[in-house]
Amino acid sequence: MAPIGLKAVVGEKIMNDVIKKVKKKGEWKALIVDQLSMRMLSSCCKMTDIMTEGITIVEDILKRREPLPSLEAIYLITPTEKSVHTLIGDFKDPHSAKYKAAHVFFTDSCPDPLFNELVKSRASKTIKTLTEINIAFLPYESQVYSLDNPDAFHSFYSPHKTQLKNQVMERLAEQLATLCATLKEYPAVRYRGEYKDNATLAQLVQDKLDAYKADDPTMGEGPDKARSQLIILDRAFDPVSPVLHELTFQAMGYDLLPIENDVYKYETSGIGDSREKEVLLHEDDDLWVSLRHKHIAEVSQEVTRQLKDFSASKRMNTSGDKTTMRDLSQMLKKMPQYQKELSKYSTHLQLAEDCMKHYQGTVDKLCRVEQDLAMGTDAEGEKIKDPMRAIVPILLDANVTTYDKIRIILLYIFLKNGITEENLNKLIQHAQIPPEDSEIITNMAHLGVPIVTDSTLRRGKKLDRKERVSEQTYQLSRWTPLVKDIMEDAIEDKLDTKHYPYISTRSSASFSTTAVSARYGHWHKNKTPGEYRTGPRVMVFIIGGASFSEMRCAYEVTQANGKWEAVIGATHMLTPTKFLSDLQHPDFRESTRVSFEDAEPTAE
């Protein structure tokens, strides 16, 4: 089956609409990229594929580049001032132009002033192609995207950054519109009503979608496509999920181990020497795809089982139920020809063992308390009467790190829907949290989550959660991220329109699926097979980051609903540590305020 999913769609689009489009037989070209397009490229194209299509070198537009006057260059860049000005500069002097000619592909629509500047410049004479490919997001996994804008967190939630907010929203809306255009969706746009900026962003997205739809009327056609929805959420919709200790493989690994840019490093112990190995965790590794959403308790068993099947098929015998790293290195010596497969198993065994090492000792104690706080009930379903009693021993425990204590305190506050200042100070004192870290807790309030409340005020009621009693869960993984409820309700058409209103400009009449109009009749022409899912999609966007447990929900919802596909994304990807350090960002402090005398805040 042709690979579907975001990575495949984007990879295909870049190859076909950019690289193959300007390919000439027997002619090499240079490919010039900037930060976003480089990350797009590396997430979904292989260097070898690009090379086969006649690209000899890939360079960063902002770095110093050697002139290659004999080659034509493909510029795949974001239409930002920096990138466009560099492009103009490359061809400023006709005698020392960097390349023979330029084929310019903007990731999305270029603002008019920049476009006019480009047209008037010397470069315009050497530009042979100038077009927009409308992809301005990163496909992170087959059903997960990122807008690669972690700074949006501060510009959205910091009270001192409000003057930047509109620019940021404009950009996010443009990026979200390219996501819909790439997936050929024209979804109904909904947003969480409790947070005012969601509505602004949703309206911006709707305007941009309408512009795309005007350019390409076939966007969003097809049976059932009219039911697709894009739901815009702010991070306060569920502050619990990003701070819990998750016990599913991917979320747990990213939380507990130092995995940077999806690279996991570990020591391999050979005979007498230990080498450090680096492994990229990505979707070409089918073992990783089959394991990443499993509970840690099942992972080692699953790897062992698959390894057994593998060795049985290759007539090697493995002893016992549990395979250790040692057994694996023995097998490797006997069967060097299967090194690639076996090293895959050893990576995941090692990863699982690493997770378990961290788990046994501290994390298991935390999980018990965290689940109770998150759910408000214990494993038997009884309401927790005295949560304070559960958390004090952890706060006093010197072996628990400051960040872990903060995660517990935050969960306690969420459960209580805010606590008094006096109680908060007591907790911070008990836990011996230094002042620079305790601001993480108070800054959470900027997201619109009740943190410090007056004891006299009646606190807001917590949302009723979906009953999931019938689902088999582990005691320490009872919490379900809220986003799963939202996606399921949207699919079943049960999502409350009071809390999650539609953008009003589209009437609900256009969503009725009864009449099949003539223009839907030809949707299946000129599509390559396997390219698009024909069913509807529910797309979620979270301002301020998505956690790995929330990503998992998109896959679970898709698996449970044959026809629908869930896609989730955010400004960036969150691990608990990243979430807390985002909240500790200096932008939240008073002193970074821009004085009102200088009307122009300097761009960073």
Q: Which helix (H) or strand (E) holds 131?
A: strand 127-132
Predicted structure pTM score = 0.86
- Collapsing DSSP to helix, strand or coil, 57 comes out as strand
For residue 72, what pLDDT is reported? 94
Binned at pLDDT 50, 70 and 90, residue 68 comes out as very high
Question: Between 531 and 177, where is the model more confident?
Answer: 177
Q: How far is 55 from 59, CA to CA, in rounded Å?
A: 11
**pLDDT value of residue 70:** 92
Reported as a single tens digit per residue, the pLDDT across 84-93 is 999 999 999 8
Residue 202's pLDDT is 95
State the average pLDDT over residues 281-287: 87
| pLDDT tens digits for range 118-135 | 999 999 999 999 999 999
Our measurement of the distance from residue 540's CA atom to the centroid of its chain's CA atoms, rounded to an integer in Å, reads: 11
Whether 597 has a pLDDT exceeding 70, the answer reads no
Closest C-alpha among 47, 54, 51 to residue 25: 54
Residue 274 has a pLDDT of 66
Cβ-contact 295, 302 below 8 angstroms: no
Look over the chain and give the mean of its residue pLDDT values, rounded to a whole number: 84
pLDDT number for residue 329: 73
Average the pLDDT over 370-379 and give the result.
88
- Nearest to residue 216, comparing CAs of 224, 205, 208? 208
Strand partners, 265: 278
Between 511 and 444, whose confidence is greater? 444
DSSP helix/strand/coil, 369: helix
Question: What pLDDT sits at residue 548?
Answer: 96
Question: C-alpha dihedral over 521, 526, 530, 532, to 10 degrees?
Answer: -60
Q: What is the pLDDT of residues 152-161, one digit of tens each?
A: 898 888 887 7
Q: Given pLDDT bands bounded at 50, 70 and 90, which one contains residue 1? A: very low
pLDDT of residue 317: 59
Stretch 200-227: mean pLDDT:
89
Asked if the model's pLDDT at residue 465 lies above 80, the reply is: no
Contact 449, 353 (CB under 8 A): no
272 is written with which tokens? 């007498």
CA–CA gap between residue 277 and residue 501 (Å, rounded): 49
Are the C-beta atoms of residues 472 and 295 closer than 8 Å to each other? Answer: no
pLDDT per residue as tens digits for the range 528-563? 433 445 689 999 999 999 999 999 999 999 999 878
Predicted pLDDT of residue 456: 54
Sign of the Cα pseudo-torsion (284, 285, 287, 292, in order): negative
pLDDT of 180 higher than 90? yes
Q: Which two tokens stand for residue 587?
A: 């932008």
Average the pLDDT over 473-487 and give the result: 88
pLDDT at 516 > cutoff 60: no
pLDDT recorded at residue 234: 94
What would the pLDDT profile of 89-122 be if each residue is shown by its tens digit?
999 988 889 999 999 999 988 999 999 999 999 9
Binned at pLDDT 50, 70 and 90, residue 593 comes out as very low
Q: What is the DSSP string of 256-321?
A: HS--BTTEEEEEEE-SS-EEEEEEE--TT-HHHHHHTTSBHHHHHHHHHHHHHHHHHHTT----SS
Report how far Cα 95 is from the mean position of its chain's Cα atoms.
45
Across 437-458, average pLDDT = 82
The amino acid that residue 433 corresponds to is I
Position 522 scores a pLDDT of 38
For the cut 80, the answer to whether the pLDDT of residue 82 exceeds it is: yes
Phi, psi (deg, nearest 5) at residue 570 = -165, 180
Q: Is the pLDDT of residue 402 over 80?
A: yes
Nearest of 88, 94, 89, 83 to residue 117 by alpha carbon:
88
Does residue 282 carry a pLDDT above 90?
no
- Identity of residue 181: A
pLDDT-derived band at 224, boundaries 50, 70, 90: confident
Contact 106, 132 (CB under 8 A): yes
Answer whether 108's CB lies under 8 Å from 93's CB: no
Element (H, E) at 195: none
Q: What is the pLDDT of residue 505?
A: 55
- pLDDT above 90 covers a percentage of the chain that reads 47
Where does the pLDDT of residue 200 fall: very low under 50, low under 70, confident under 90, or very high at 90 and above?
A: very high
Q: Is 297 exposed, middle or buried (0-12, 13-18, 19+ CB in 10 A)?
A: middle
**How far is residue 278's CA from residue 276's CA, in Å, rounded to a whole number?**
7
Residues 198, 191: Cα–Cα separation, whole Å: 6
CA distance 543 to 172: 9
Contacts of 282 (CB under 8 A, 6+ apart): 262, 288
How many other C-beta atoms lie within 10 A of the C-beta of residue 435? 7
* SS3 at position 487: helix
| Cross-strand partners of 419 | 452
Beta bridge partners of residue 486, listed in sequence order? none
- pLDDT at position 519 is 39
Phi-psi region of 148 (alpha: psi -120 to 50; beta: other; left: phi over 0): left
Would you state the pLDDT for residue 470?
60
Query: Which backbone phi and psi does 195 adopt, to 5 degrees?
Result: -120, 120
The pLDDT of residue 56:
93
How do residues 159-172 score in pLDDT, each as one tens digit? 877 788 888 999 99
Phi (first) and psi of residue 62, to 5 degrees: -85, -5
The whole-number pLDDT of residue 120 equals: 92
Q: What percentage of the chain carries pLDDT values higher than 70?
A: 87
Mean local confidence (pLDDT), 300-321: 76
Assess whether pLDDT exceeds 60 at residue 143: yes
Average pLDDT over every residue of 569-590: 88
